[in-house]
Structure 1
Amino acid sequence: MILKLKSTYLFKSLITVGLFILVSCGQDYIPKPKAYLRLDYPKAQYKKINIDVPFYFETNHLASKIKYKKLAATKESYGINIEYPTLKGTIFLTYKAIDGDSEILTEYLRDAQKFTLEHTIKADEIPVFPYENKERKVYGIFSEVKGNVASPAQFYVTDSVQHFLVGSLYFYAKPNYDSILPAANYLQKDMARIMETIVWK
């Protein structure tokens, strides 16, 4: 009887150990990579904005807050913030009058290009897209900055005589290119729309 109990105990133990070995065998554990939420945004609906600045433009209805103010400067200048609370981002626009001064235009162009080039330290790539609308006298450059940078897109436009406008996109979070990419792509289209719809007053 004792021998029978011992053999039953031994048999159960062997089965338990065998099952444990079978279950534990298999592929090595590999930690899952970080995942980011797939974000789908509503189709953009644009409307004309007429605020007390020297140009008109169109912006997305998703931009629920538009703030602007006159900047303290000798020449006419304005700061405009187009805020997207749901995307946690803002497009900052700065307008400066040129008043026919070619030296001032050269200085503004140099500053705008320098601002983009400052991102080359952390940027993976900076594709540049020229823009021109002869009918409305709007000429400029759109720059997409790829990588973990503070501002993933910038642009500037001018009529080369009276007006100069520069824009940049910022998010309210630490830059992580993979996580902000869907929102950045969405807002870059809005920035392009601003460029394409500018009408100087």
Structure 2
Amino acid sequence: MWKVSSVFIVLSILLMGCDDENYIPKPSTYFKLNFPERVYDNYQDTCGFSFTIPSYFEVVEKKDERNPCNRDINFKGFNGTLFLSYIPMETELYRYIDYSLSKVDEHKIKASFIEDTTLLYPEHGVYGTYFFLGGDVAKPIQFYLTDSTDIFMSGYVMFNAVPAYDSIKPVLEFVEEDILKMLESTKF
């Protein structure tokens, strides 16, 4: 008898403590990100191209004899890299563009959307397309630039993390603004 009454008392206390009217959910939490102040520098490469980049971009020359003008641009503090390919054109322009488009197409399976923006900078003689891929994709930003006759430059962004769009979105939005500024200021 003692066991049954003590179980009844404990259950009664637990049920009275389950008042749905006073339920207060915990608010969403996010990592606190300290974005650096944007200070821009002009970068002049030995291969003949230049652009404006923020101070947290670190350009690293790759030790690749086949492609000596390819560069990695590390985002200091954000665990991400912009991989940049600089190619002197040896064949028709459409072949380079088709190759770049095929790299974007590889992400259609995972991308929830793909936005493309035409880049036209006639004052520099630079033209291209910028792609923003939403969703859990490995390369959320891809682009190509060209002078249409001699030079083709392409690039993509990768973060050293599992591709989870909601996790990288704040950093991606911050970095995207500086990448667009870099592309706008590119000269060959």
TM-score range, shorter chain: 0.7 to 0.9
- What is the rounded CA distance, in whole Å, between the counterparts of 2:17 and 2:171 in structure 1? 44
Q: In 2, are the aligned partners of 1:96 and 1:164 still within 8 Å (CA)? A: yes
Match of 1:6 in 2: none
SS at match of 1:168: strand
For residue 117 of structure 1, report the CA deviation from its aligned partner: 1.2
Over 3 Å counting, the alpha-carbon distance change for 1:148 and 1:16 in structure 2 is closer
Which of 111, 123, 130 is matched with 1:135 structurally? 123
Q: Secondary structure at 1:47's aligned position in 2?
A: strand
Q: 1:123 aligns with which of 99, 111, 123?
A: 111
**2:75 maps to which residue?**
84
Q: Deviations over 1:36-90 (max 9, x none)?
A: 3243413322110122122011111012x321136444xx752101111311101
1:98 and 2:86 aligned: no
Counterpart code for 2:40: Y
Give 3-state SS (helix, strand or coil) of 2:108's partner: helix
Task: Provide the residue aligned with 1:26 in structure 2.
Answer: 20
Partner of 1:67 in structure 2?
Answer: 60
Check conservation: 1:81, 1:90, Cα contact below 8 A. yes
TM-score normalised by length of structure 1: 0.79
In 1: Cα distance, 2:108 partner to 2:11 partner? 59
Whole-angstrom distance in 1 between the partners of 2:40 and 2:124: 19
**Structure 2: gaps (5+ residues):** none
Q: Is the 8 A contact 1:156 1:166 kept in 2?
A: yes
Go from structure 1 to structure 2 and tell me whether the alpha carbon gap of 1:16 and 1:81 turns closer, same or farther (over 3 Å shift).
closer
Give me the TM-score of the superposition, normalised by structure 2.
Answer: 0.84
In 2: Cα distance, 1:116 partner to 1:30 partner: 44
Q: Distance in 2 between matches of 1:70 and 1:138?
A: 27
Kindly indicate whether residue 175 of structure 2 is the aligned counterpart of residue 197 of structure 1.
Answer: no
**Contact residue 62 and residue 72 of structure 2 kept, 8 A:** no
Identity among equivalent pairs (%): 30
Does the CA-based 8 Å contact 1:126-1:144 persist in structure 2?
yes
Mapped to 1, the partners of 2:37 and 2:31 lie a distance apart of 19
Q: How far apart are the structure 2 equivalents of 1:28 and 1:174?
A: 38
Structure whose residues are more often helix by fraction: 1
What residue identity is the alignment partner of 1:37?
A: F
Larger Rg: 1 or 2?
1
For the Cα contact (< 8 Å) 1:119–1:149, is it kept in 2? Answer: yes
Residue identity opposite 2:111 in structure 1: A
Gaps of 5+ in 1: 1-9
RMSD: 2.9
Q: In structure 2, do the counterparts of structure 1 residues 140 and 32 end up closer, same or farther at CA, with 3 Å as the change threshold?
A: same
